[in-house]
């Protein structure tokens, strides 16, 4: 897998795990911003009459620029910080030793709706998904931030495309 070789302790990132990571970080295999706006009935009436502006997000939901379920890497890190795991998240970005995160803590930080959506996309059980994500995220984020800096969204997307 190129950049992500040795990112997880087992050295093996499975396809479902890559889909899950992509869903969190770059929006691969997603349809729009359903996690941010779960109830599509709240949209203003008459979007079809607005022309091309209304078709962008719906027709290009898998575009890497959409930032994934949480707004990309920065959004994921913010979610972890907001949930009280800032030191852990910062250790993944920084140049020192990566701290681990408990699967249940990760699940609480991401929220049940995000976990449910990713589990559906990958076909994985939610608990197994959280276990694998909690193992993989420290190494993957460390690889994405080699200089202790959060990269631009297009850089994260290109890492997943290579």
Mean predicted lDDT score pLDDT of the chain: 75
Contact between 146 and 96 under an 8 Å Cβ cutoff? The reply is no
CA distances from 12 to 86, 98, 129 (A): 27, 18, 15
Each residue of 11-47: pLDDT tens digit?
666 788 888 888 888 865 443 333 333 333 333 444 4
Residue 19 has what pLDDT? 85
Q: Model's pTM, two decimal places?
A: 0.70
pLDDT of residue 56: 32
Distance, CA of 162 to CA of 35 (rounded, Å): 26
CB burial string 122-136: b at 16+ within 10 A, e below: bebebeebbbbbbbb
What contacts 133, CB < 8 A, 6 or more positions away?
17, 20, 21, 24, 103, 106
């Amino acid at each position: 897998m190129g950049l992500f070789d040795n990112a997880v302790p087992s050295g093996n990132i499975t396809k479902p795990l890559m889909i899950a990571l992509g869903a969190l970080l770059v929006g691969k295999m997603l349809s729009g911003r359903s996690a941010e706006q779960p109830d599509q009935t709240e949209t203003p009436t008459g979007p079809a009459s607005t022309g091309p502006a209304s078709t962008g997000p719906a027709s290009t939901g898998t575009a890497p620029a959409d930032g994934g379920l949480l707004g990309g890497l920065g959004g994921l890190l913010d979610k972890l910080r907001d949930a009280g795991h800032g030191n852990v998240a910062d250790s993944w970005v920084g140049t020192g030793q990566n701290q681990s995160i408990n699967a249940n803590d990760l699940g609480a930080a991401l929220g049940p709706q995000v976990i449910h959506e990713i589990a559906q996309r990958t076909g994985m059980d939610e608990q197994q998904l959280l276990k694998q994500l909690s193992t993989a995220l420290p190494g993957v984020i460390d690889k994405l931030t080699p200089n202790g800096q959060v990269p631009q969204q297009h850089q994260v997307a290109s890492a997943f495309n290579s």
